[in-house]
Structures are given as C-alpha cells and as structure tokens.
C-alpha cells in the first residue's frame, strides 16, 4: 500500500497582493493545519516548494515557512523544480510518511510574482539556457506557447475560436471559486478582442503571473484512522519523471531539441520508449503507479499555461487521441457538468501562475472535489482525480488522488 492521506488542505487566495511570499505560505499553512484539526506542533516535518523570486528565503522555503510559523524542531526539506516544485514537495512528504519517518507532514508553496513576463535570474550567465533564450531570442514563456498553438492549428486544424472556448470554460468555473484571482465569466468575443501577445495567442489565452500560496497536511493512513478519519482522500501516486532521450519536442527554456540522429546507438529499448513524448510519459507513469487509467477519472486539473496547451494535455493524459482535444472540448465533455470536467477549479486561466504553489493548489482542488466539498463547482460523485503539470528544465509532475 503506497497511499498517504490528505489530512488538510488550505490556500491563500490568488491575486496581486504586493506582500511577501512568506505571508501567503504562512496563511495557507495555517489553513491546511486548521482543516486537518492539527496544531503546527503536531507535524514532524515540513517540506517547502522553493521560489527563485524571493532571494535566499525562497531557495530555503521549507525553513523560511518553519521560521514564520515558529520554530518547533520539525525536520525540514526544500525542493525546487520550477512549476513542478509543488509535486516534488508532495513526493518528498509522501516518501517520509511511507518510510515511517513522520506521521504528519506539512507541504507549503507560495510565490510573489512580478508584473508582466517572468524573467531569468539576474547577472550575465551565458552558460544558462534560461538566460540565453531571453538574451539571444527574446523568447518569453508566451512565445513558446504561441509556437505550440500555431503548430496545433497547422497540424490538427485547431482554430483561435477553439482556444477561446477553453478560456470561456475555465472562466465559468473560476467564477465559482472564491480562491481564484479572476472570478468573472469571459465571452469568446472578449477573448477575440484582447490584444495579441504571441501570435496566434491573445492576452486572454495566456495565463497571468500571480501571488498565492497553497498547503497540504499529509499523513499516514493509520494516523488518519487513529484521528477518526476512516475514509480520507488518499494520494495514490505521484509522478516526478524526467524526459527520455532524444527529446524531440521543443520545450522551455531550450533553444533546440535533441537530435534524433544516433538515438538508436547502443540500446533500441531506449529509442522505442523515447517515442512517447514527455508530457504523455508523465501521465503514463502516474497511471501505472496508481493502477488506474483515464477511463477511471472523475476529473482532471491540468496546467493550462495557455488555452491551446490545455487541449494538448487532454491528449497527453489520454482523454482523447492526438488532435482530438478541440473536438472533446466542443462537445462540452470537459466543462463542469460534462463527462470529465477539466480544471473545475478554474485552472491557471482563473488563477494565474504562482509557480511553486500551483501543483499544491491542484491537489487542494482534488481534495475538496473528492470530499464533495467544492461547493458550486462540485463534480458530482467524484472518486478519482488527476493533477498534471510540467516544470521547465525537464520536470514531470502528476498526482492521482482517490476516495
């Protein structure tokens, strides 16, 4: 049995609050502890998901949050994996619980984002691919999203209207989520009237950068039972896989893909498995570990950095075949009330991205949905949920939670 229980979930609302990420993380942590009915002194470990935007305290996020909550001697870890930091924090906490090192672990991620584009860390660093893509190409994150979107239009026949429909769907869900930054319905006309950021994507196709914080209290199943929680939401699997060589699909922050030349030299098995693109391999690993498949899902939280990217995720996590994402969306299958709601939380479209908090926030949403406590955006009878994400530099992130 590799399940761990979600004892508590909590968030600081997303927005642009102008305060330190430490404050957001502390608020989220206290909310998660209160939800678990535990004192801060009742957890034996804290894992922080780091941020590169808070200076040194951001790199040592675990200790930063522990200090803000008041030193109580818990063991500490800090992890950083860009957008996948939250999933790595969950994975680290889970490993400690399954190893018997802790009954209850607090997981926290929070960020305070700049206005506008994310930029690389400062200084002259010509050995850093993230610095080079900005220096030589001005290739912002939305530039990559624009490339993927145009590619879909050319290969699958997706249209700007298909992309806008994702925003309309996610905004409708986000309007029902008090923790979301944007809580207003959006029309296709409003998307089409917003300025182009990176052709073919418009402002309302691309997710914003936000402040926010999210936290979970995870514990062993025995500990949950001893506290009278007989049927907790369980994290059944976590995937933090890396890509396989040769990685032939362009990804942030790279200036080029690997070369398919010479891939077969040595072992053919490696070349064959490389045929599964990275995002699909993230989902495959978590399904395998959980012993479930896409047909078992009640809902999915996917990383919609752009509207077009949400459609890619449908295909990558097996909700439909390659190129069928827009059609699945068009049928209403992925909207609230549909067969398999995607981003019932409102997604990044409604939250904006608070990098290290985002994967944790996805698990908060799964938790509330699986408890039947998601209010107006509740997916009826939710039993199995997946959350997927990808951190730049090759970080997979996926969680399957069940009830």
Partner 1 sequence: MERTRKPAVPGWFSEEGGFRLLGTRCPACAAVFFPREDAYCRNPHCAGGGAMEEVPLSRRGRVWSYTDGRYRPPAPYPSDPEEPWEPYTLLAVELEAEGMVVLGQAVPGVGPADLEVGMEVEVVGGVLAEDADTVWTTWRFRPVGGRA
Beta bridge partners of 216: 9, 107
15 or 270: whose CB is closer to partner 1?
270
Question: Which of residues 41, 72, 101, 119 is near partner 1 by CB under 8 A?
Answer: 119
88 or 140: whose CB is closer to partner 1?
140
Question: Which of residues 1, 99, 154, 230 is near partner 1 by CB under 8 A?
Answer: 154
Query: What would the two tokens of residue 220 be?
Result: 């062993």
Give Cβ neighbours of residue 235 (< 8 Å, ≥ 6 apart): 3, 4, 5, 6, 90, 94, 218, 363, 399, 400, 401
Window contacting partner 1 (CB under 8 A); options: 46-54, 79-87, 133-141, 230-238: 133-141
- Kindly write out the interface string for residues 246-275 of this chain, putting x where it contacts partner 1 by CB under 8 A and - elsewhere: x-x-x----xxxxxxxxxxxxx--xx----
Could you give the CA distance from residue 304 to residue 308 in angstroms, rounded to a whole number?
8
Window contacting partner 1 (CB under 8 A); options: 114-122, 186-194, 303-311, 335-343: 114-122
The minimum distance between CB 313 and partner 1, in angstroms, equals 18
Could you give the CA distance from residue 370 to residue 270 in angstroms, rounded to a whole number?
37
DSSP string, 124-192: --TT-HHHHIIIII---HHHHHHHHHHHHHHHH---HHHHHHHHHHHHHHHTT-TT-S--S---HHHHH
Check binding of 43 to partner 1 (CB under 8 A).
no
Check binding of 326 to partner 1 (CB under 8 A).
no
The minimum distance between CB 206 and partner 1, in angstroms, equals 11
Could you give the CA distance from residue 278 to residue 79 in angstroms, rounded to a whole number?
21
Class of residue 114 by CB neighbours under 10 A (exposed 0-12, middle 13-18, buried 19+): exposed
The minimum distance between CB 241 and partner 1, in angstroms, equals 14
The answer to whether 309 and 148 have CB atoms below 8 angstroms apart is yes
Question: Which of residues 39, 189, 199, 222 is near partner 1 by CB under 8 A?
Answer: 199
The minimum distance between CB 131 and partner 1, in angstroms, equals 6
The minimum distance between CB 120 and partner 1, in angstroms, equals 7
The answer to whether 381 and 340 have CB atoms below 8 angstroms apart is no
Question: Which of residues 75, 135, 183, 225 is near partner 1 by CB under 8 A?
Answer: 135
Class of residue 262 by CB neighbours under 10 A (exposed 0-12, middle 13-18, buried 19+): exposed
Window contacting partner 1 (CB under 8 A); options: 25-33, 145-153, 321-329, 340-348: 145-153
Question: Which of residues 245, 322, 372, 375 is near partner 1 by CB under 8 A?
Answer: 245
The minimum distance between CB 325 and partner 1, in angstroms, equals 17
Question: Which of residues 147, 188, 276, 333 is near partner 1 by CB under 8 A?
Answer: 147
The answer to whether 344 and 173 have CB atoms below 8 angstroms apart is yes
Could you give the CA distance from residue 26 to residue 387 in angstroms, rounded to a whole number?
23
Question: Which of residues 116, 178, 228, 381 is near partner 1 by CB under 8 A?
Answer: 116
Query: Which stretches of the chain bind partner 1, using CB under 8 A?
Result: 116-117, 119-120, 124, 126, 129, 131-140, 143, 146-151, 154-155, 195-201, 245-246, 248, 250, 255-267, 270-271
């Amino acid at each position: 049995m590799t399940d761990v229980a979600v004892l508590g979930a909590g968030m600081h609302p997303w927005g642009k609050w102008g305060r330190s990420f430490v404050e957001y993380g502390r608020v989220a942590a206290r909310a998660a502890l209160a939800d678990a009915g535990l004192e801060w002194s009742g957890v034996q470990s804290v894992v922080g998901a780091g941020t590169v935007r808070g200076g040194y305290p951001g790199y040592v996020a675990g200790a930063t949050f522990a200090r803000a909550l008041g030193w109580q001697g818990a063991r500490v870890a800090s992890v950083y994996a860009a957008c996948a930091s939250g999933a790595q924090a969950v994975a680290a906490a889970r490993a400690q619980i399954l190893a018997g090192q802790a009954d209850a672990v607090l997981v926290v991620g929070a960020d305070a984002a700049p206005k506008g584009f994310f930029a690389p860390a400062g200084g002259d660093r010509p050995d850093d691919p993230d610095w080079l893509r900005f220096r030589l190409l001005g290739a912002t994150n939305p530039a990559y999203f624009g490339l993927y979107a145009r590619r879909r239009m050319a290969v699958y026949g997706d249209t700007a209207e298909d992309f806008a429909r994702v925003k309309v769907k996610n905004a409708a869900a986000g309007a029902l989520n008090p923790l979301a930054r944007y809580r207003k319905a959006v029309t296709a006309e409003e998307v089409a009237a917003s300025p182009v950021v990176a052709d073919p994507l418009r402002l309302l196709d691309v997710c914003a950068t936000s402040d926010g914080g999210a936290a979970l209290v995870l514990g062993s199943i025995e500990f949950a039972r001893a506290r009278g929680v007989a049927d907790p939401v369980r994290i059944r699997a976590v995937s933090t896989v890396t890509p396989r060589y040769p990685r032939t699909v362009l990804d942030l922050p790279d200036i080029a893909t690997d070369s398919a030349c010479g891939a077969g030299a040595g072992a053919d098995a490696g070349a064959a498995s490389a045929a599964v693109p990275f995002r699909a391999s993230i989902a495959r690993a978590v399904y395998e570990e959980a012993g479930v498949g896409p047909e078992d899902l009640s809902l999915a939280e996917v990383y919609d950095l752009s509207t077009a990217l949400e459609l890619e995720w449908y295909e990558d996590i097996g909700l439909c075949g390659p190129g069928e994402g827009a059609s699945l969306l068009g049928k209403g299958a992925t909207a609230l009330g549909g067969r398999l709601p995607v981003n019932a939380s409102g997604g990044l479209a409604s939250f904006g991205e608070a990098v290290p908090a985002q994967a944790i926030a996805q698990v908060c949403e799964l938790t509330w949905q699986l408890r039947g406590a998601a209010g107006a955006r509740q997916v009826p009878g939710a039993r199995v949920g997946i959350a997927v994400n990808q951190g730049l530099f090759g970080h997979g992130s996926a969680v399957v939670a069940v009830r």
